[in-house]
Homo-oligomer: A and B are copies of this chain.
Amino acid sequence: MFELTFLGCSGGPMEGSTCALLVKPATSSYLTLKPGELLCIDGGSGLASLTETIYHEQRTSQPYSKTIELLASQTNIKSPQDICEAVVTTPFAEIQGSPFYEARKIFSCLSNYLITHPHLDHIAGLVVNSSGFDAENPKSVYGSEVCMSALSAHIFNNIIWPDLPQHKLLSLNSVNYEHPFSPSHGVYSVTMFELSHGVNYKSSAFLINYKPADARDNASADQEHMLLVFGDFESDRVSGASTNIHVWQQVAPLVARGQLRGIVVECSHGDSLNDSLLFGHLKSSDLIHELATFKELIEAEGGSINGLHVVVNHVKDLDSDVRLQILKELRDGASLHQLDIKISLPLSGVSLVI
């Protein structure tokens, strides 16, 4: 099982809480993290978001998301549990000490970032935080060649931000699609898939394979847990490509073998939005279309999608909060397609175990 902490899961236009996801084994505690156990997928938010989450969990021992307070008059969501079928956890409630200091300590344990694409809402926190990184504990950043080149040419270019890779505070590592790689310490094996994020934009999904220490030498498949995390992307229905079905084809056998714990996937909009305004994102019916495709492929492998966790993020904070609308549309669509899945819409600051 994995514990996921959404430092941010907004699709904008609100700054400071855009997509960044901490991932660790659910069996590990933040008090006793081992090297390599903590990953961050995308870096739209970071240290400040974690500091706030620690502050609130320490005081109330309750799951906290400021999104609920700020959008109170536009939504009936009263707690993160209202829109999450996965178990909502409070992994920072037991941490003693200053939230600022403790957040920095946790970030010092974070060695590896996986970046899905270089849009600013997925990197701004990583970049601003990076001036506080420690040369004795540099961060390794992984992503596609296109993404790493963009960070090098347009961000760490001594114009938008100092060239910190040159100063060894972080390294930018291009990896190839569908060639598994192991971030430092070998706790995880990661496979990256290509996604379409609208005309001329590429994004990535990461399949994260966690190998418990006692299973790393023998490849005992039933001890491996996997998690599939998508960056921003559009539906094959909209792109006319077969990018997503290719990912589902690769991952379906893992579901059939009971290894995939869940998927984290975007759904930026409700179905009322016209397709011409999607700009490379999914709306509810697109996600259902993709999951129905996935279901067929899983069944062809002799398995079932039933019980799979589907965690939805990147909802756009526009004129009204559409989370309850998206949740209803997803549940109706799942029912129509006999998808007995567990749907969660976390908010920035929320932690889930799947």
Contacts from A to B (Cβ < 8 Å) = 12-18, 45-49, 51-52, 55, 66, 69-74, 97-101, 104, 118-121, 124-125, 127-133, 150, 153-155, 157-162, 200-201, 279, 317-319
Contact = CB atoms under 8 A, between A and B. Distances in A.
Contact of A128 (B120, B158, B200): B120
Nearest to A16: B16
Contact of A118 (B16, B45, B119, B160): B160
Nearest to A199: B158
A128 to B, nearest CB: 4
Given A150-B159, A154-B154, A155-B120, A128 B98 contact: no
A55 B73 CA distance: 11
A87 B236 CA distance: 57
Contact of A52 (B66, B125, B133): B66
Nearest to A348: B48
Nearest to A48: B14
Contacts of A317: 100
Nearest to A11: B131
A193 to B, nearest CB: 20
B98 A72 contact: yes
A74 B101 contact: yes
Given A15-B128, A16-B48, A18-B128, A55 B74 contact: no
A206 B161 CA distance: 22
A100 B130 contact: no
Given A15-B48, A120-B124, A55 B69 contact: yes
A150 B157 CA distance: 11
B12 A132 contact: yes
25 contacts: A12-B129, A12-B132, A13-B128, A15-B45, A15-B46, A15-B125, A15-B129, A16-B45, A17-B48, A52-B66, A52-B70, A70-B99, A71-B98, A73-B98, A73-B101, A74-B100, A118-B160, A119-B161, A120-B124, A120-B127, A120-B128, A150-B159, A154-B159, A158-B200, A162-B279
A317 B47 CA distance: 11
A354 B328 CA distance: 51
Contacts of A118: 159-160
A162 B13 CA distance: 13
A323 to B, nearest CB: 13
A318 B66 CA distance: 24
Contact of A15 (B16, B100, B119, B162): B16
A51 to B, nearest CB: 5
Nearest to A200: B158
A161 B150 CA distance: 11
Contacts of A157: 154
A104 B319 CA distance: 9
Closest 8 A-B residue pairs measured CB to CB?
A16-B16, A13-B132, A73-B98, A14-B48, A154-B154, A15-B128, A15-B125, A124-B124
A200 to B, nearest CB: 7
A345 to B, nearest CB: 17
A166 B208 CA distance: 38
Contacts of A158: 200-201
